[in-house]
Amino acid sequence: MGSRLKSATCVVLLAGSASFVWGTQAFAQSESAGDATDEIIITAQRREESLQKVPIAVTAFSGERLNELGLQDSVDLGDFTPNLQINEIAGPGSQPAIFLRGIGLNDFSLNNSGPVALYTDEVNLSAFGAQNFAMLDLNRVEVLRGPQGTLYGRNTTGGAVNFVSNLPGDSFEGHAIASYGSYNAVRGEFVASGPLSDTVGVRVAALRNYAEGYFKNVLTGQRSNGADAWALRGTLRFRPNDRLDMILRGRFDRSTNRFTWYDQLGMFDPASVIAGAPAFCADAQILAGQCVDAFGYSDQDPKYRGRFSGNARLKNEAYGTSLRMALDLDAAQIISVTGYNEAENFFPEDTDVSPNRFIEVALGAKSKTFSQELRASGEAGFMNWIVGAFYSWERITQDQTADMLRDARPSPDAFFSRHLNRQSGETYAAFGQVEAKIADPLTLVAGLRYTHDEKDFRTRLQFEEPGLVIPLFDTPLSFKDSNWSWKLGLNYEPSADWLLYGSVSRGYKGGGFNGGFIFDPAQNVPFETEELTSYEVGAKGRLFDDRVTLNMAGFYYDYRDIQVFSQFDSNGFPVTLLVNAPKAELYGAEMELSARLGGGFSFNTAVGLLHSEFKDFPSDFGDFSGNRLARAPSVTLSGGIRYENDISQAARLQANIDVSHRSFVYYNTENTALGREPAYTLVNGRIGVTFDERYSVALWGRNLFDTYYAVNRNPLADFGFVQVIPGEPRAVGIELGVTF
């Protein structure tokens, strides 16, 4: 793996050792302490297992832990998971860019799915537009790092994230939570659950989330970058006997907040624009805000302030339903999971983020997906086994527009282009995996999956004027491929408290089509399948009578035919393409430690180290060999201290402070200074009291030190500016809750 990987692994091991020694000293001063954490049961391998017994690098959050950390939406997980980076590409409510160990897809197009798969109750949410949702009434979240090609299939080159909702219980229960915070943020959550009969249980959850937002248009006084969302969840469980378990779920998410406003950095020298021959400023001048865009505008307003011509609202709706049926046959368990999802998205962007009508784009898409998985699993003496089959289909239609130079042209629609795409596809797969104990402490893991993909795509471009449509091209495309993904591993359990594992696995992401703004039909070619071969070793253990949990992993990736999003200048409208880079190399290490220190205190930390490099990436727009992969920080670090104890017979105090850090990162493949985000650190906190185990009040804060950071930097040289999409500034609030 090379000396640098060894160095990275050593750093993590040393960090783990330092925490280990520190924890030893703390325990020596404490006479009693409980478990490091309550044991989390996960289903990462499609069966219930303790997190500490799963030979995969997994970070798991219980529902209670999600609330402690203030994680409310699917995009919040990246702050506290090693080597996980999640950003909303265009700010609140937009599609997320999810990168795990440097593997992800930077594309803003709504027809593609990324290599980190999201699952809600075992159903894949493949549509980008459906992946930004409220984490409402969850039992847990599991983040599986590394390719999961055997049990999860295509599009898991980077990993998988499982969102698992709560099930109805045997007695009536529920809760209501209301909070108020900065920017007039109001959030209300209600959950109720209970039995309808001896065999039927029901659970419902509802959420309303509204915030005016932290960005202000100084021309109108309007605010944006907030929230205006609804979410509903429903679960019906039917257990007629001890052998059959049927779970019907439904989910709905809707967001209609005002579309995000950004900060803007001009790229042209002001004098050159006045002279009619725009020339670029030096990078240092651009970053200092000394330059202008192609219309001569320079954003000189304070942060989170601007002058905008657009104020449209986005529309982000997602519906989903699933039916899970489990039949226990003693020798085997048969499980069927049927899922159907729809999403409708409309993202209207004031692209130039200025008072001028210079460039405005709108992304619109509708998607429908259906999936069916049937699997059987069981134990046979020394062996656990699982076999299954999978089928899915998808239908996606896109309606995208680009409105250019509206303030400068005589005809209001002369440069109005419409890009219409229609995509359909089917996937078939068969898979199996066994875990066989070959000696008392040794277990062999072997898995194999065969997948066949077929996709069709039709793209049409037309210019539109009042009463006139000018077609430019109408191109049909198709893609077909078959792939074998596999895993081979060895687990060693020297004691009941420790698991050591090593594995070699391969995952893949199927090919597809460019669904962005393409004006040249010669660029309408499919991109090919990518493959990743992973070599990984890890250790999971418990120490000091289960008061400390320590998990570590090291990995090396051989990444081939990488699907890379690249944006290039074209002396007109920027060209955005997904192309295949021949080869990249990634390696790194991770460590997660949690400890119960006694006296009501607990501590946790997580460290991720990553090296990423394109080893071979020549292209028509330049040679990017040697560049880092986009959205792949070399260091991710998080940690927190929590205190919980009784302060009276009827009251219990809970308090926590949590920190997350990201080293500098490039948001673009080109690794330009204008696409580089410096390192930043965020601090969150929460303190609350629970009375009579029913009533609660808490104060919370996010980004307590008001750090300014960007979740995306998008240089658009053709238009002479850089889009800077800032993250949320400091926010504080109060929360009230009741449990019944």
pLDDT value of position 118: 96
pLDDT value of position 524: 86
* Whether the predicted pLDDT of 346 surpasses 50: yes
pLDDT value of position 18: 38
The answer to whether 281 and 291 are in contact (CB under 8 A) is yes
pLDDT band at residue 577 using 50, 70 and 90 as cut-offs = confident
Mean pLDDT, the chain, rounded, equals: 91
For 264-279, what is each residue's pLDDT tens digit?
999 999 999 999 999 9
pLDDT band at residue 127 using 50, 70 and 90 as cut-offs = confident
pLDDT value of position 558: 98
Average pLDDT over residues 143-170: 94
Q: Which of 316, 262, 244 is nearest to 95 (CA)?
A: 316
Q: Which of 238, 429, 433 is nearest to 326 (CA)?
A: 238
pLDDT band at residue 287 using 50, 70 and 90 as cut-offs = very high
pLDDT value of position 152: 94
pLDDT value of position 21: 35
pLDDT band at residue 407 using 50, 70 and 90 as cut-offs = confident
In a domain, 615, yes or no: yes
- Total number of domains in the chain: 1
* Whether the predicted pLDDT of 25 surpasses 60: no
For 90-106, what is each residue's pLDDT tens digit?
999 999 999 999 999 98
* Whether the predicted pLDDT of 191 surpasses 70: yes
In a domain, 138, yes or no: yes
pLDDT value of position 292: 97
* Whether the predicted pLDDT of 664 surpasses 80: yes
* Whether the predicted pLDDT of 731 surpasses 80: yes
697 Cα distance to chain centroid: 30
pLDDT value of position 39: 78
pLDDT band at residue 17 using 50, 70 and 90 as cut-offs = very low
Domain encompassing residue 145:
3-261+308-739
CA distance 98 to 118: 10
The answer to whether 733 and 699 are in contact (CB under 8 A) is yes
* Whether the predicted pLDDT of 353 surpasses 70: yes
In a domain, 681, yes or no: yes
In a domain, 270, yes or no: no
pLDDT band at residue 129 using 50, 70 and 90 as cut-offs = confident
* Whether the predicted pLDDT of 693 surpasses 50: yes
Percent of the chain surpassing pLDDT 70: 94
Average pLDDT over residues 130-150: 95
Average pLDDT over residues 193-203: 97
In a domain, 200, yes or no: yes
pLDDT value of position 310: 87
* Whether the predicted pLDDT of 338 surpasses 70: yes
pLDDT value of position 620: 77
37 or 560, which is more confident:
560
Q: Which of 183, 189, 184 is nearest to 230 (CA)?
A: 189
34 or 353, which is more confident:
353
In a domain, 283, yes or no: no
pLDDT value of position 468: 85
Residue 86 corresponds to which tokens in the numbers above?
């999640």
CA distance 144 to 647: 38
In a domain, 174, yes or no: yes
The answer to whether 93 and 227 are in contact (CB under 8 A) is yes
CA distance 504 to 515: 34
Percent of the chain surpassing pLDDT 90: 84
For the chain, counts of helices (H) and of strands (E): 4, 42
For 447-502, what is each residue's pLDDT tens digit?
999 999 999 999 999 998 878 899 999 999 999 999 999 999 999 999 999 999 99
CATH number for the domain spanning 57: value is 2.40.170.20
Average pLDDT over residues 522-535: 93
The answer to whether 296 and 205 are in contact (CB under 8 A) is no
Average pLDDT over residues 76-84: 94
One-letter amino acid of 565: F
In a domain, 293, yes or no: no
CA distance 641 to 638: 11
* Whether the predicted pLDDT of 406 surpasses 90: no
pLDDT band at residue 32 using 50, 70 and 90 as cut-offs = very low
Average pLDDT over residues 394-418: 82
pLDDT value of position 10: 43
- Residues contacting 156, CB < 8 A, separation 6+: 115, 116, 117, 147, 148, 149, 507, 509
pLDDT band at residue 158 using 50, 70 and 90 as cut-offs = very high
pLDDT band at residue 23 using 50, 70 and 90 as cut-offs = very low
pLDDT band at residue 29 using 50, 70 and 90 as cut-offs = very low
